Amino acid sequence: MTDDEKKVDSPAVAVGLGDHEELPIEKHAHDADEAMKALESAHGESIELDEATNRRLLRTIDWHLMPIMCFVYGMNYLDKTTLSYASVMGIKTDLHLKGDDYQWLSSLFYFGYLAWEYPTNRLLQLWPLGKYSGACIVIWGLTLSCFAAVKNYQGAIAIRFFLGVFEAAVTPGFALLTSQWYTKKEQGSRVNIWFCFNGVGQILGGAIAYGIAVGTSKHGSAIEPWKIIFLVTGLLTIVLGFIFLWIIPDNQLNARWLKPEDRVLAVVRVRENQQGIGNKHFKLYQVKEALLDPMTWAFFFYALIADIPNGGITNFFSQMIASFGFSDQESLVLGIPGGAVEVIALLLNGYMGYATGHRILCSVGGLVSALVGMILIVALPESNNTGRLIGYYMSQASPTAFVALLAMISSNVAGYTKKTTVAALYLIGYCVGNIIGPQTFRPKDAPRYVPAEITIIVCIGVSICIMLFVFWWYQKENKRKLVIQAGPDFVRLENQEFLDLTDRENPSFMYSL
């Protein structure tokens, strides 16, 4: 770097993108990303990455990261929804649940998630990413297994709360891992892949619950059937947690399954993201920027509003299906196709978003499907059980937009402190929505729960409007940045992609649509 370059202020000052105090280049270099270590190890040599090497690295990364992330995320969904299966397997009777007890038991998970969401995002930044995430997975598996020992409502409340605390690290941790290892173009499809295992979790959960219900009804069991499903899912999560700890590194620089030279190349291949691979310095100005960024609040309110339906359906889908005229055992197995719909919708959405370059607009299709499905559930007569069941299946395409915004946090929010702050607020909105959702299913409205279903329809409609606003805003910002880049005052700093600049202070940073 020349003396003249060292005198240049940060891009935020040079082009007027930021709204915080002036940050000299020396300070940026001092607070630089972990990736700078890899560049320093090259001793100033230019590192080139050819296409064949890039493809080879991507295959290696995919084979090591994606399988364990997918299976863990499937268990993340299954562990939350095990309560729904237990609701038609005797837990209400055995724990003497009355009135709103089940609704509050459903919501308590998200109180724990909400309480620990921001602290866990800070710890994901401060502590080793792979080790902290893996430890949380093991502990949440232990917590879920303890549900089999619960004997009363108070004990169940404690388990659900701490289950939320330890699961709070998974989604933001996986978003950080995706942004750390994959290019912007690759991130959307990868997030769709690991998130679609929510549907796989529903398929697996339905099959396990149905098998346990049928088996215990025929042959009996030493413990209650609902306790067996908690033990099975909890112990499986513990095993996956230890596998995760062994496989997932904290970043490219300590990946045991990469050769030393490939570790540096794995950093270079994500250079185009303009985000780096991780920074442990807390930067207050990035928190302020996050709080003043309209997209932060668009994400927050989308998560809050869209997850009111999610919170309700996730915990009541077995009872909803039973209300269509099916038996409790039938409701367990009939929930399985809903998981298949979610998997297909997310994989199709990931492919379409990758092919068209318009992840946001493609994701709205899932919300439209969910809207039509919920209208069918409300509008069709009680005698049309098949039509209402099809409506439920259509509603399971709704996660496409939530996943699209989760991928946007991964690809469109730069600055490590800003990214963790936005992720925390997004998932706080997710928690609040999931807390509200079960409360819309009032006992007096059973078995059809029409007021709750109408609430879901309204929430989906508002969610579609928010997604269209997000698309418009990012499109507008990209046009503004192109004007700045073409201006005479535009300055590009050396290695600026690894200086932990935010998306707003880095004029070279372009938003994915």
- C-beta neighbour count of 275 within 10 angstroms: 30
Q: Which two tokens stand for residue 481?
A: 């940045």
Mean pLDDT along residues 393-411 = 93
Residue 107: how many other CB atoms lie within 10 Å: 22
Contact 15, 487 (CB under 8 A): yes
Q: Looking at the predicted structure, is the pLDDT value of residue 12 above 60?
A: no
**Domain positions in the chain:** 32-271+283-481
Asked whether residue 444 carries a pLDDT value surpassing 80, the answer given is yes
Which of 205, 206, 447, 202 has the alpha carbon at shortest distance from 322? Answer: 447
Task: Give pLDDT, residue 37.
Answer: 59
> Residue 327's pLDDT is what?
82
Average pLDDT on 206-232 reads: 87
Q: What is the pLDDT of residues 44-88, one digit of tens each?
A: 455 678 899 999 999 999 999 999 999 999 998 887 778 878 887
| CATH number assigned to the domain with residue range 32-271+283-481, chosen from the 4 options 1.10.287.610, 3.10.20.30, 1.20.1250.20, 3.30.1330.80 | 1.20.1250.20
- The pLDDT value recorded for residue 43 is 47
Q: Give CA–CA dist 273/410, Å, rounded.
A: 10
Query: Which of 101-110, 132-141, 317-326, 431-440 reaches the highest mean pLDDT?
Result: 132-141
Q: What is the pLDDT of residue 46?
A: 58
Q: Which two tokens stand for residue 418?
A: 């800003």
Give the mean model confidence (pLDDT) for residues 294-307: 96
Closest CA to 234 of 113, 108, 138, 335: 138
Contact 132, 383 (CB under 8 A): no
Q: Which pLDDT belongs to residue 310?
A: 86
Identity at 130, one-letter amino acid code:
G
Lowest-pLDDT range, 14-28, 189-203, 207-221? 14-28
- Single-letter code of the amino acid located at 290: A
- Average pLDDT for residues 420-440, to the nearest whole number? 91
Secondary structure in 3-state letters for 239-294: HHHHHHHHHCCCCHHHCCCCCHHHHHHHHHCCHHHCCCCCCCCCCHHHHHHHHHCH
Q: What is the pLDDT of residue 439?
A: 86
pLDDT band at 494 (very low <50, low <70, confident <90, very high): low
pTM of the model: 0.82
pLDDT score recorded for residue 5 = 36
Q: What percent of the chain has pLDDT above 90?
A: 52
Tell me the average pLDDT across 253-272: 89
Q: Once rounded to an integer, what is the mean pLDDT over residues 472-484?
A: 94
330 band by pLDDT with thresholds 50, 70 and 90: confident
Q: Stretch 491-501: mean pLDDT, rounded?
A: 72
Q: What is the pLDDT of residue 104?
A: 87
Model pLDDT, residue 34: 63
Phi-psi label, residue 326: left if phi above 0, alpha if psi -120 to 50, beta otherwise = beta
Least confident range of 8-17, 199-208, 294-303, 485-494: 8-17
Mean of the pLDDT values across residues 208-216? 86
Average pLDDT of the segment spanning 256-275: 86
Contact 500, 33 (CB under 8 A): yes
Kindly tell me the sign of the dihedral angle through the C-alpha atoms of 302, 304, 309, 315: positive
Percent of the chain topping pLDDT 70: 89
Q: pLDDT, tens digit, for every residue of 168-182? A: 999 999 999 998 999
Highest mean pLDDT among 16-30, 82-96, 369-383: 369-383
- Name the least confident of 35-49, 157-171, 226-240: 35-49
